[in-house]
Chain A
Amino acid sequence: MYKKTLALLLVSLMILTMAFTGCSKPETETAAPAEEIIKVGWMGSLTGDQAVWGQCELDTVKMLFEEINAKGGVLGKQLEVIGYDTKGDPQEAVNVAKRLTGQDKVVAILGPNASGNAIPIAPVLEQAKVPDIATVATNPKVTVLDGKVKPYNFRVCFIDPYQGAVAAGYAIEVLGFKKAAILYDVADDYSQGLTQFFEEFFVSKGGTIVAKEAFKFGDVDFRPQLSKIKDAAPEVLFLPIFFKEAALIANQARELGITVPLMGGDGLPSEQLFTMAKDAVQGTYIVNHVDYDDPEVQDLKNRYKTKYNKELELNGYLVHDAVVVFVDALERAGVADSVKITEALETTNVKGVTGQITISKDTHNPEGKDAAIVKIEGDRYVFQQKYSAK
């Protein structure tokens, strides 16, 4: 019995220790006194299947804040980021939003990157009156629900219907493809959304979807679906998915003798695509947020690479713009107050690396943002043209 009591004591001690370390104030990177600091929240996946993007976002925000602070900060105050992991889980996202707004008292939140996380935090934001700037949450319902704009949700990326229309329009009007096949992830919200809008627009422009096949997140072998797609003889294979699956699909498609070009949305661009499937993805068209040849984009990319010795993922560019939009709103608000910042956010018109960002008061989306079409040639994303769907 003594042994058991001892074990129980040890376990409770362990939990208590954790509780205390958890409750203690997170270490601040700057030694400035509290009133000289503006706290900004970040949320996203640091663990789980989306961790690649989350880590990159948080690293980028840290880097940008360091740079801003070195130049004297904003409104004479230092910026500090408090970033928490959501595991990509909606339930965790709500907890994080409550913690950031309730306990850490941040003035604004950057992220999350997943639409499924950005949607459920809306009631929390409304109650706390803290604005959120989502990075790559492309579901229209993130900012507008049943025709009503959500007062505290903003984003810096374009939305699924737009992206789907751009991809379909470019495929059918510029490239002249009439028959498309789609291979999508049935368990993923981003993939389902993009698929739906691509299909609608492609068909409305007179094209036909000759095959629409699905896989489920976690799959690594797509040859059963690809064999079926091969028989349908499409002119282009649309992949509304992320780059890991896309790279595997590209390799397996080529093995099966599918030679048609591939096409994808903003889930595809990554340096990783080349290490995994360089030969197989040649000639792929991608609807992207950024034009990699732009000098400002190059500059950000190099700064990140020098600091972390890693390649900057696409999310890094968008979180950069979220930071730009936030800093701009903060400066115009003139005071670190979340309601004033929200008001300022509604009239944002600022230039980021992904283009001019003009937030619409009615939708809280950046309006009139062109998509950049890039094509993979060698190990580069070659800029084709700016394209917007009509």
Chain B
Amino acid sequence: MSRFLQQLINGLSIGSVYALMAVGYSLVYSIMNFSNFAHGGVIMLGAYFGYYYLTKLGLPFFVAFIASALTTGILAVVIERGAYKPLRERKAPFLYFIISAMGASIFLENIVIATIGPTFKSYPEILSRTPIQLGSVTLGRIDLTMFIISAICLALLVFFIDFTKMGKAIQATSYSVKASALMGINTDLVIIVVFALGGFFAGIAGVLFGMKYTVYPQIGIITNKSFIAAVFGGLGSLPGAVVGSILLGIIETMTSGYLSSNYRDLIAFVLLIAILVFRPSGLMGKITEDKA
């Protein structure tokens, strides 16, 4: 039983990492309707910003944390202006956005390798690595902190989207860009805000990731998992992204723990296909109807 509990905690902790990454991704998807593959690159840079703010500038943790989230927020908007806006203006199909995003992600990863170098960096110890013991089950301090920070950020995001004017505009735009524009919503501004928010979350995810593990140019590999998690939950749905991520984390952990760690990803994939066969829009995705 204690082994099961331990694995459940492991799964929740892995899932919450996926969730933080998936939220920014899902947010952009809900408006733009394309998979922003550059999101992984922005998360990676967030981790690097956090590292440099902490070590080179010597900022206190929370200041560095917010500062890197703001920096990546700006970065995400810059990427949008550079790589996506020209496509939007041409009304290019979503494939072009994806390819452009991939170009951006290759660019970001390799510019870090070329300038900062391929060696990874480790964050200074902010929280003690000694875990909290609950009977025979151990709970990492960083995991707990990460869980709490993620919950607070998500709550703030939900508040922002549900109760502010801008949030309402985002909702409307996600429903239909054209109709919102006709209703007088500045959709260009909405898109900037959405990218800034996505980037802000990428920064948070990056710093927490770096703190928990380490910082290196290929963090993007993990974000593929968060894409899959977002699909599990249903693309474009924020609660879906969170639920899908936690679920994927737990499925992976239980597979490694009880079935086979060699075939973990294969089993996760079979489950993904099974979910999609029965629910083609994921667990909580918006059901899109074809417009004739």
- Pairwise interchain contact A227-B3, C-beta atoms closer than 8 A: yes
How far is it, in angstroms, between the C-alpha of A47 and the C-alpha of B108 when the chains are bound?
12
Shortest beta-carbon distance, A256 to chain B, in Å?
6
Assess whether A227 is in contact with B214, with CB atoms less than 8 Å apart.
no
A251: chain B residues at CB < 8 Å are 129
A255 touches B140 (CB 8 A): yes
**CB of A276, distance to nearest CB on chain B (Å):** 4
Would A256 and B138 count as touching, CB distance under 8 A? yes
* Contacting residues of chain B (151-191) with chain A, CB-CB under 8 angstroms: none
Interface residues on B, range: 35 or more
A244 touches B216 (CB 8 A): yes
Q: Which of B8-16, B56-64, B74-82 contacts A (4 or more CB under 8 A)?
A: B8-16
Cα separation A52 to B214 with both chains bound (whole Å) = 15
A162 to chain B, nearest CB (A): 26
- Are B13 and A221 touching (Cβ within 8 A)? yes
Bits for B263-282, please: 1 = Cβ < 8 Å to A, else 0. 01100000000000000000
Stretch at the interface among B21-29, B116-124, B240-248: B116-124
> A-facing mask of B200-229, CB < 8 A → 1, else 0?
000000000100011011100110000000
Checking A49, A213, A227, A248 against B7 with a beta-carbon cut-off of 8 angstroms, the contacting residue is A227
User: What separation, in Å, do the CA atoms of A176 and B113 have in the docked complex?
Assistant: 43
Asked whether A215 is an interface residue with its Cβ less than 8 Å from the other chain, the reply is: yes
Q: Are B218 and A221 in contact (CB under 8 A)?
A: no
Contact residues, B118-142 vs A (CB, 8 A): 118-120, 122, 129-131, 138, 140
B110 on the interface (CB 8 Å rule)? yes
Complex-state Cα separation, A218 to B117, whole angstroms: 18
Decide if B257 touches A224 in the complex (CB within 8 Å).
Answer: yes
B213 adjacent to A216 (CB under 8 Å):
no
For residue B264, which residues in chain A have a CB less than 8 angstroms away from its CB?
Answer: 216
A341-368 CB contacts (< 8 Å) to partner B? none
In the complex, B253 has a CB within 8 A of chain A:
yes
Contacting residue for A225 out of B213, B216, B256, CB 8 A: B256
- How many of A's residues come within 8 Å of B, CB to CB? 34
Q: Is B218 a contact partner of A218 (Cβ separation < 8 A)? A: yes
Mark interface residues in A222-261 (1 if CB within 8 Å of B CB, else 0): 0111011001000000000000100110010011110000
Q: Which of B10, B118, B213, B257 counts the most chain A CB atoms within 10 A?
A: B118
List residues of chain A with CB within 8 A of the CB of B252: 224
**A276-292 with Cβ < 8 A to chain B:** 276, 279-280
Q: Is A69 an interface residue (CB 8 A)?
A: no
Q: How far, in Å, is A55 (CB) from chain B's closest CB?
A: 6
For B145, what are the chain A residues with a Cβ–Cβ distance below 8 Å? none
Evaluate contact between B3 and A272: CB separation under 8 angstroms: no
Pick the contact of B113 from A51, A213, A228 — CB < 8 Å? Answer: A51
By the criterion CB–CB under 8 Å, are B262 and A214 in contact? yes
Which of the residues A55, A214, A223 comes within 8 Å of B10, measured between beta carbons? A223
Q: How far is the CB of A243 from chain B (nearest CB, A)?
A: 10
A248 interface neighbour in B113, B214, B217, Cβ under 8 Å = B214
Contacts of A310 in B (CB 8 A): 119
- The answer to the question of A275 belonging to the interface, with a C-beta cut-off of 8 Å to chain B, is yes
Residue pair A257, B10 in contact (C-beta under 8 Å): no
Tell whether, in the assembled complex, residue B261 and residue A227 are in contact, meaning their CB atoms are under 8 Å apart.
no
Q: Are B119 and A227 in contact (CB under 8 A)?
A: no
Question: In the assembly, what is the distance between CA of A216 and CA of B264, in Å?
Answer: 9
B17 within 8 A of A: yes
Residue in A55, A215, A255, A279 whose CB lies within 8 Å of B261: A215
Minimal Cβ-Cβ distance residue in A for B218: A49
Q: Are A248 and B213 in contact (CB under 8 A)?
A: yes
Residue of B nearest to A220 (CB): B213
Q: Which residues of A contact B71 (CB under 8 A)?
A: none
Cβ 8 A contact of B253, one of A51, A224, A248: A224
Q: Are B261 and A52 in contact (CB under 8 A)?
A: no
Q: Which of A47, A216, A217, A254 contacts B129 (CB 8 A)?
A: A254
Residues of B within 8 A of A255 (CB): 129-131, 138, 140
Question: Contact: B7 with A218, CB < 8 Å?
Answer: no
Is A186 close to B, CB under 8 A? yes
A47-B265 contact, Cβ under 8 Å, with A52-B118, A255-B129: no
Q: How far is the CA of A228 from the CA of B138 in the complex (A)?
A: 14
Q: Given A220-B213, A276-B214, output 12 extra A-B contacts at Cβ < 8 Å.
A: A47-B110, A51-B113, A51-B118, A214-B261, A214-B262, A221-B14, A224-B253, A224-B256, A227-B7, A254-B129, A256-B131, A257-B138
Pick 13 A–B contacts, CB within 8 A, sort by A. Answer: A47-B118, A52-B119, A213-B256, A215-B261, A216-B264, A217-B221, A220-B209, A220-B213, A221-B213, A224-B11, A224-B257, A225-B257, A272-B119
| Nearest 4 interchain pairs by C-beta | A51-B118, A218-B221, A224-B256, A223-B10
